[in-house]
């Protein structure tokens, strides 16, 4: 009724279906802001499975940045600190220091350098 080849294929089917699925595309992303006074942007780079980075996108952050305090070295500059970008539960939060605003982006789980405001 069944040929030896078809029985062999049927016997291997559980092995094939139990194999781990490889994710196509990036496994994550890195994010930095450029803090440009003419228009703040997020620069996203994709992280490949082997750890290599490739440029993903430049995403406008909807406001303006503000560069370091060069006029008064004794005054503090709050953005020369950490956590100007925060990723939480599939969302990216950042600040536009020049326009005194904050912004939230949804991160595409299939392509983490694809952000939607």
pLDDT of residue 112: 94
Q: Are 106 and 115 in contact (CB under 8 A)?
A: yes
| Residues in CB range of 93: below 8 A, 6 or more apart | 85, 86, 87, 102, 103, 104, 105
Which residues of the chain carry a pLDDT beneath 70?
A: 1-23, 67-83
Average pLDDT of the residues of the chain: 79
Whole-number pLDDT of residue 98: 86
Phi-psi map region of 48: left, alpha, beta (phi>0 left; psi -120 to 50 alpha):
beta
């Amino acid at each position: 009724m069944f040929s030896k080849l078809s029985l062999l294929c049927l016997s291997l089917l559980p092995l094939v279906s139990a194999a781990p699925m490889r994710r196509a595309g990036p496994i994550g992303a890195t994010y930095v802001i450029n803090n440009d006074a003419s228009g703040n942007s997020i620069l996203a780079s994709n992280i490949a499975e082997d750890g290599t980075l490739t440029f993903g996108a430049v995403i406008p952050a909807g406001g303006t940045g503000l560069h370091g305090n060069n006029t008064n070295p004794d005054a503090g500059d709050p953005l020369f600190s950490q956590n100007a970008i925060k990723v939480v539960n599939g969302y990216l939060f950042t600040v536009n220091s020049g326009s005194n605003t904050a912004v939230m982006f949804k991160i595409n789980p299939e392509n983490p350098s694809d952000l939607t405001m």
